[in-house]
Amino acid sequence: MSAEQTSFNHKYIIGISFISALGGYLFGFDFAVISGALPFLRTQFMLDAWREGFLTGSLALGCIAGCLIAGNIADRYGRKPGLMIAALIFAVSSVCIAFASSLTLFVIMRFAAGIGVGMASMLCPMYIAEISPAKVRGRNVAINQLTVVIGILVTNLVNYFLADTGPDAWRWMFGLGVVPSIVFFIGVLWLPESPRWLVKAGQQVKAKQVLYKLGSETFVNTTFNDIEKSLVGIKKQSYKAVFDKSVRPAVIVGIVLAVFQQLCGINVVFNYTSTIFESVGANLNRQLFETVSIGAVNLVFTLLAMWQVDKLGRKPLMLFGSLGLSVVYIILAFLLQNHYPAGMVSIFVLLAISMYAISLAPVTWVLISEIFPNKIRGAASSVAIISLWGAYFILVFTFPILAKKLGTFGPFYLYAAICFLGFLFIKRKVKETKGQTLEELEQTLIRH
């Protein structure tokens, strides 16, 4: 391949990838804020195990609705309008949660926030994948995961410093989400529409204009022709088409990976940090400090994943993470069961976070964004991510109930078994995707 063919406007591509990925920051915010707020919310709303699980999981139910909405908007109106709507929903829900006067209103607004999270979780990786050249697509999509973990870390830091401001600290924790929401909305105004969506919508001239901003003329012509070929003869997209026999292998892999990313159990560590460390005698200050440590380790290893995802490839990282988590969970469950000191528990919690951050966290999103054919990418991504959020709800809703019945350590033995089963599935069913265009992947993945 000539130098001309590999000439890209890297600064522009990175710039619009980061702007789109600000949706990931908001995802990280809403995901992490509950961990710092739960000690206050238990007192404010007198939560039992069932209510605590449902309050935490209500975000996921909103995410499912958000994915359904985003899939329709993304295919009918484009990726950009969907990102703008997500930003507005984030802003409004943050303010409303901060002023919630009852548990019912809080849960309704948390559900609304989930709609924004669900839309962003689907549209941000999809958009970045569609504007990125093949050789850097993995890294660029992983930018979305980077902003997610930055959102988690910053939110945990803010929660830590707000914790001493009184019983209404949780209101500030949630209300401050309006600031990044507005920044994200303003940034999206500057983004171009996805060239792949523009071609599909019959706006070929605009598609080429966007492609010329991304790379050289040879890149434009090659990419444009590949997109048009992949869309020949397709009809209006529907969810029924997602389960057509010709695309079913890729869709099944996407759904299983999405569900596994959640049922692997790591989000229990993120959302219930205070519960885990309270079980070994840590005070509130130590509990919140652990959330900050988790956020910092998460950030470092996500950066490492971004560096390696287009070098080592997707599959080796996924295999390492799933098997490694299985082993670490068994050790962590043993430590919790025998009431080892918080410092010892912290080491293995952070080890689990590091393994997840370098593997299942970013790489699952990369694979979901690239394994589906152009003609069903919107609907198929929606189905996979709906499955992901459904699994997240099951995970966070059941943990307080299981922990009450089995002890805090009990669920981690279950998560270890799930991680081992995930390892076996990845080894047998997941194909390597690094370095291939979306159109090339469409041919190889469906064929297998």
| Average confidence score pLDDT of the chain | 89
Taking only the tens place, the pLDDT of each residue in 13-47 is: 999 999 999 999 998 999 889 988 999 999 999 99
Residues with Cβ within 8 Å of 403's Cβ and at least 6 positions away in sequence, in order, are 49, 272, 275, 279, 410, 411
Taking only the tens place, the pLDDT of each residue in 391-427 is: 999 999 999 999 999 999 999 999 999 999 999 999 9
Structural domains of the chain ordered from first start: 10-191+233-447 (1.20.1250.20)
Lowest mean pLDDT segment, chosen from 14-28, 98-112, 235-249, 366-380: 235-249
111 has a pLDDT exceeding 90 = yes
Lowest mean pLDDT segment, chosen from 12-16, 296-300, 378-382: 378-382
439 has a pLDDT exceeding 80 = no
Beta bridge partners of 226: none
Taking the model in full, what pTM does it have? Answer: 0.81
Average pLDDT (209-216) is 91
Lowest mean pLDDT segment, chosen from 34-38, 90-94, 441-445: 441-445
pLDDT at 5: 47
The closest of 334, 357, 358 to 344, measured between CA atoms, is 334
Q: Where are the alpha helices (DSSP H) in 132-231?
A: 137-162, 169-175, 178-188, 195-200, 204-214, 217-230
Average pLDDT (170-182) is 95
pLDDT at 6: 55
**d(C-alpha 5, C-alpha 397), whole Å:** 50
Question: How many degrees, rounded to 5, is the angle at CA 237 between CA 231 and CA 241?
Answer: 100
Q: Are 204 and 176 spatial neighbours (Cβ–Cβ below 8 Å)?
A: no
